[in-house]
Amino acid sequence: MKKIAIIGAGTMGNGIAHTFAQSGFQVQLIDISQASLTRGVATITKNLDRLIAKEKISEADKSQTLNNITTYTSIDEGVNDVELVVEAATENIDLKLNIFKQLDEACQENTILATNTSSISITQIAAVTSRPDKVIGMHFMNPVPIMKLVEIIRGYNTSDDVTNTIMELSKTLGKIPVEVNDYPGFVANRILMPMLNESIETLYNGVAGVEEIDTVMKLGMAHPMGPLQLADFIGLDVCLSILNVMYDGFKNPKYAPCPLLVNMVRAGKLGVKSGEGFYDYSESRKAEKVSKQFS
């Protein structure tokens, strides 16, 4: 397997493209927006420059990685000769089902179709294709080039051959694949999201403030990042979407999103991506921090 297509040039998509391209794969990066493709390739370039600065790769490695990436704005053109497609579009079930219908029609008969979804049913996605045995989940962690884990999620009909192929492929990327079965949230988010939600509930109930909650978890539980800061990093809208998927899937109130989370998303306070969530990431706040350093 040498030719891979990635659907979506956002944070996850460009990270997955970077990882495959740096590992020697020919990557066809697809997005309906040329601007998104341009930003995605710029992000990959910036991240490669950081690796050069750390003396982890050479200029030649950077050039080869970028040469391994070709961009497309059409799914039909971008996937017609690939052996694997990894879909990394927005976490929206209707969007993903529509993409997989297109992929099923445009791809060769033996092409494996993977999704980077962090919570949506692989079985449900596979059901809209004529190849449910060749549909699988590849849930990469963010930032993709750095994080080692890949959750490999088997749908109800995913074949052993496809599962084994994707497990071995993940290892060639320098990742550690973990096979899990298809239930809402899989393993990572089934455990992580209730913890983040409970942290938000703790804030909502006035038990402690944002920095106090994060400090307790960092110093007391050895977490590298506090849960509220992590929620900001993931995106509060993404957290809400995943919790809703799990609540709908299990009908268990323990997965019901905290009202504070719902209201923050309604207000557009989405975390790092919007400049404000539980913390302030605005330019004025950054300037304030810089001025304090030199005062």
Residue 59 in marked binding region: no
Residue 205 in marked binding region: no
Identify the bridge partners of residue 135 per DSSP, sorted by sequence position.
Answer: 113
Residue 211 in marked binding region: no
Q: Which of 83, 139, 170, 197 is catalytic?
A: 139
Residue 9 in marked binding region: yes
Identify the bridge partners of residue 178 per DSSP, sorted by sequence position.
Answer: 151
Residue 8 in marked binding region: yes
265: tokens are 């998303």
Residue 31 in marked binding region: yes
Residue 159: C-alpha distances to residues 112, 128, 152, 295 (Å): 11, 17, 13, 62
Is residue 83 annotated as a catalytic residue, yes or no? no
Q: From edge to edge, which strands make up the β-sheet containing 135-140?
A: 69-72, 26-30, 3-7, 84-87, 112-115, 135-140, 149-154, 176-181
Is residue 118 annotated as a catalytic residue, yes or no? yes
Residue 142 in marked binding region: yes
Q: Which of 18, 47, 83, 151 is catalytic?
A: 151
- Name every residue whose Cβ is closer than 8 Å to that of residue 110 and which is 6 or more positions away in sequence: 83, 134
Q: Which of 189, 197, 241, 274 is catalytic?
A: 189
Is residue 139 annotated as a catalytic residue, yes or no? yes
Is residue 87 annotated as a catalytic residue, yes or no? no
Q: Which of 36, 47, 116, 118 is catalytic?
A: 118
Residue 13 in marked binding region: yes
**Catalytic residue list:** 118, 139, 151, 189
Residue numbers in the known binding site are: 8-13, 31, 91, 96, 118, 142, 273
Annotated binding site for NAD(+): 8-13, 31, 91, 96, 118, 142, 273
